[in-house]
Structure 1
Amino acid sequence: MACAGFTCSKTSLCAINILYVMVSLLMIGIAAWGKWFGLVSSFQVVGGVIGVGVFLFLVAVVGLVGAIKHHQVLLFFYMIVLFMVFVVQFSVSCACLAITEEQQHQLLEIGWNDSQTTQRDVEKNIDCCGFSSVNYNGTCEASCFSSHNCVPCAVTIQQHADDVLHFVGGIGLFFSFTEILGVWLTYRYRNQKDPRANPSAFL
Structure 2
Amino acid sequence: MVCGGFTCSKNALCALNVVYMLVGLLLIAVAAWGKGFGLVSSIHIIGGVIALGVFLLLIAMVGLVGAIHHHQVMLFFYMVILFIVFLFQFGVSCSCLAMNRGQQTRYGLSRQKPDSSHQENRCFSVCFFPLQPCKNLGNCTSCGDLMLNHATEALKILGGVGLFFSFSEILGVWLAVRYRNQKDPRANPSAFL
TM range, smaller chain: 0.7 to 0.9
Q: Deviations over 1:4-41 (max 9, x none)?
A: 30001101111111110000100100111122222223
Alignment of 1:1-203 (within 5 A): 3-107=3-107, 109=108, 112=111, 130=113, 134-136=114-116, 143-144=130-131, 152-203=142-193
Runs of 4+ in 1 over 4 A off after TM superposition: 147-152
Cross-structure match for 1:124: none
Q: Deviations over 1:131-182 (max 9, x none)?
A: xxx44289x99522xx787975422111122222111111111111111111
TM-fit CA distance, 1:196: 0.9
Give the conservation status (yes or no) of the 8 Å contact 2:110–2:151.
Answer: no
Q: Deviations over 1:52-107 (max 9, x none)?
A: 00000000000000000000000000000000001111111111112222112222
Cα RMSD (Å): 2.5
Q: Which has the higher helix share?
A: 1
- What amino acid sits opposite 1:59 in the alignment? I
- What amino acid sits opposite 1:26 in the alignment? L
TM-fit CA distance, 1:189: 0.6
Supply the distance in 1 between the matched residues of 2:18 and 2:77 (Cα, whole angstroms).
Answer: 18
Instruction: Output the TM-score relative to the length of structure 1.
Output: 0.79
Give the conservation status (yes or no) of the 8 Å contact 1:13–1:182.
Answer: yes
Supply the distance in 1 between the matched residues of 2:192 and 2:84 (Cα, whole angstroms).
Answer: 28
Instruction: Output the TM-score relative to the length of structure 2.
Output: 0.83
TM-fit CA distance, 1:184: 0.8
Residue 25 of structure 2 aligns to a residue in which SS? helix
When residues 110 and 141 of structure 1 are mapped into structure 2, their CA distance, relative to the original with a 3 A threshold, is closer
Give % identity. 58
Alignment gaps of 5+ in structure 1: 113-128
